[in-house]
Amino acid sequence: MINISNNSTEGRINPDKLRSFKAIPPARSNVTLKRWLFSISAIVIALLFLPWTQNIRSRGELTALDPSKRPQTIHSVIAGRIEKWYVNEGDFVEAGDTVMFISEIKDDYFDPNLLANTESQIQAKESSVLSYMEKVRALDMQIDAMISTQRLKIQQGRNKVRQTELKVQSDSMDFVAARNNLVVAEEQLKRFEELFRQDLVSRTEMEGRKVVLQNAQAKAVEAENKVYIAKNEYIIARTELNTIEAEFRDKVAKAESEKFASLSSMYDAEAQVSKLQNQYANYDRRSGFYYITAPQSGFITQAITTGVGETIKEGTAIISIMPADYKLAVQMYVEPMNLPLLQKGQRVRFIFDGWPAFIFSGWPGASFGTFGGKVFAIDNFISPNGKYRVLVTPDPGEEIWPDALRVGGGADGIALLNDVPIWYELWRQFNGFPPDFYKGGLPEKTGKEDKK
């Protein structure tokens, strides 16, 4: 009953005698509501003090830990024409198995006897090198013989010079003796003429002395003539000696010139041999590229270049292969502001695509269907998407990752950070603060900073 009048009904009406008051029970909702509100508040307050694991969530994908075990494409090293396929998509191949055979399309390599012809050219050039070597050896022997002959000829010429020099001395001595005899004959003739004027000697003796003087004069002239002849022979011998030295010097120089020319031709032939050998090795190696083989064991996933008779260029991707033996890892990308919160060895929980999971982000222990991992590597440079790449490997202390996972599958990563109360986490979220980063206290201030 609503009291809208100033007249009070209290004490005038007995509620037990009225049916309407008996039909309406007394109101007790205020007490129950207070109890519910108190209980809920107590539970909420208690929940606020429960531990909460701070975390960073990021989307990632499965990959192989070893770069050589990640999906790759097989390329053609040379240009060619597809002739035959040896595999189908989905086949498993071992390392070295033939995937495709291609034929040559460049006219420089059309000759079917290319290797044999190149080898014949190499042998011909090697024979040319041997011929030049023999010629150089023969010229060396010829030069040695010339030098030996030169020594003998020079010694012979020197002996002849010495011989003519001694002959000049001998003839000079004879000339001096003849001149002395001439002087004696002249003196004797003068004395005989004096004696003849005094009639002490006969005319016959006088004439005999004149004959002796004439003979002495003749011998003196003859001796002088021999001296000049000997000197002339000496000059001729010296000239012949110089001629011998010059002649053999020219012969040796000419032979050495031929030798060096032969050496130059030999070196040129050796260079051509090396070039042909290199060319032969290139031809031989190129012939091995006609058969394209698998670089490692794995599964053929997709044929990028198809058909038979199509031409391909150098470096063209032909087929993609997924290595069989690999270790899984997850590469996920984090925001630059969250990068300082991560470090190597930090724990991460994953939810893999296609794998049922029920998670509580703040209570990893109560989650179901998640798998553990540890941070293996963190990139030092930013990726093109504006985030940093983090590589996470399986945690050996956690449950093994499912065998059904494959490279390229998606994964949601939850990087676990510090444990804090729920109220602290709510306060941080409301204020937009980052998760806890500093592990110790604030750095101590120096004395200079205290003074400031």
Out of 270-279, 344-353, 357-366, 390-399, pick the least confident: 357-366
Residue 313 has pLDDT above 60, yes or no: yes
Q: Rank 8-17, 70-79, 142-151 by mean pLDDT and report only the highest.
A: 70-79
Residue 378 has pLDDT above 80, yes or no: yes
Higher pLDDT residue, 99 or 187? 99
Residue 93 has pLDDT above 60, yes or no: yes
In this structure, the dihedral spanned by the alpha carbons of residues 230, 231, 235 and 238, taken in order and rounded to 10 degrees, is 70
Model pLDDT, residue 1: 47
| Phi and psi, residue 396, nearest 5° | -65, -20
Judge whether 356 and 89 are in contact, CB under 8 Å: no
Same fold for the pair 81-104+291-322 and 114-288:
no
Q: What is the mean pLDDT of residues 135-157?
A: 85
User: Among 3.30.460.10, 2.40.30.170, 3.40.109.10, 3.30.70.120, what is the CATH number of 53-68+326-439?
Assistant: 2.40.30.170
Domain boundary assignment for the chain: 53-68+326-439, 81-104+291-322, 114-288
What average pLDDT is seen over the chain? Answer: 80
Annotate 146-189 with DSSP letters as a single string: HHHHHHHHHHHHHHHHHHHHHHHHHHHHHHHHHHHHHHHHHHHH
**Per-residue pLDDT tens digits for 46-79:** 777 767 666 777 888 999 888 888 888 999 888 8
Higher pLDDT residue, 27 or 166? 166
Higher pLDDT residue, 378 or 432? 378
Assign a CATH topology to domain 81-104+291-322: OB fold (Dihydrolipoamide Acetyltransferase, E2P) (2.40.50)
Model pLDDT, residue 101: 92
Judge whether 352 and 371 are in contact, CB under 8 Å: yes
Q: How confident is the model at residue 22 (pLDDT cuts 50, 70, 90)?
A: low
Judge whether 77 and 318 are in contact, CB under 8 Å: no
Q: What is the mean pLDDT of residues 283-302?
A: 89
114-288, which class in CATH? Answer: mainly alpha
Dihedral sign for Cα atoms in the order 133, 134, 138, 139: negative
Between CA 422 and CA 362 the distance in angstroms is 9
Q: How confident is the model at residue 263 (pLDDT cuts 50, 70, 90)?
A: confident
